[in-house]
Amino acid sequence: TIKFVPCECETFTIEGCEGVPLESNTIYKAYKALNDHTGDLDILNFFYAHKVVVTKRIPSQAGLGGGSSDAAAFMLLVKEVCNLMISTEELAKLGSTIGADLPFFIYNYPSANVSGFGEKVEPFDEAPLALELYTPNMGCDTTVVYKTFKKELLKNITVCSFLGWDNINSKTLLEMISDPITLNDLYAAALLAYPELKTIAKEGWFFSGSGSTFFRLKR
């Protein structure tokens, strides 16, 4: 969760993200993007009088969108408290400059098909899934996984491999696909970057995002 707490701040201040350099923090990047895009002095003045307090519940480097959802929640909250005249579409486009999955969290659909570089988000009507999660005691750096994918695997990907998936609900996909790499090609990149994942992987479990969390339908 994210809260804005009154304080006398000489600069933009975040609490609850210890160990992450300010310039690398997705919330700070969102602040900079909003500030630069709108030029609204209300944003500057607000954060001279308030600090950002983050209560982390999603593990870092777990492939669960923790950093991106934090940044998206921050942008939506700033839009509200500072009365920014910016549409959700414009906010999502701005968010995409920070991370490919920010638009998904900004639109806040229960389920969606996402394409392009993450900027095309279309709501998808399906029942919520009951899932089991397993996050090992290791993390996967998103940048490392994506760089590995681009260098080693991108040339082998064809769009035809995924035609029709946007019309199939998630439960059916999980039931009809047994190979976790078929469902998530980032898993192959993560295995190259972090070979120790091979000793952690379990039969019947799938890989979430760039890792390191595994998941399956709840039994």
Q: What is the pLDDT of residue 159?
A: 62
Q: What is the pLDDT of residue 75?
A: 98
Q: How far is CA 48 from CA 84, 117, 134, 179, in A?
A: 17, 34, 40, 51
From the candidate CATH numbers 2.40.50.320, 3.50.50.60, 3.30.230.10, 3.40.630.10, the one assigned to the domain spanning 2-123: 3.30.230.10
List average pLDDT for each run of 10 residues in the chain, which is 219 residues long: 94 90 94 94 94 92 94 97 95 94 96 91 96 96 95 78 85 94 94 96 95 95
Q: What is the pLDDT of residue 40?
A: 87
pTM of the model: 0.90
Q: What is the pLDDT of residue 116?
A: 86
Domain boundaries, the chain: 2-123, 131-217
Q: What is the pLDDT of residue 97?
A: 94
| CA 23 – CA 94 distance, rounded (Å) | 17
Q: Tokens representing 99?
A: 């991370």
Q: What is the pLDDT of residue 160?
A: 58
Q: What is the pLDDT of residue 154?
A: 85
Give which of 216, 219, 210 is closest to 64, Cα–Cα.
Answer: 210
Q: What is the pLDDT of residue 19?
A: 81
For residue 197, give the H/E element and its range: helix 197-200
**62 burial via Cβ count (<10 Å: 0-12, 13-18, 19+):** buried
**How many other CB atoms are found less than 10 A from the CB of residue 82?**
19
**Phi, psi at residue 131, to the nearest 5°?**
-125, 150
For residue 51, give the H/E element and its range: strand 50-54
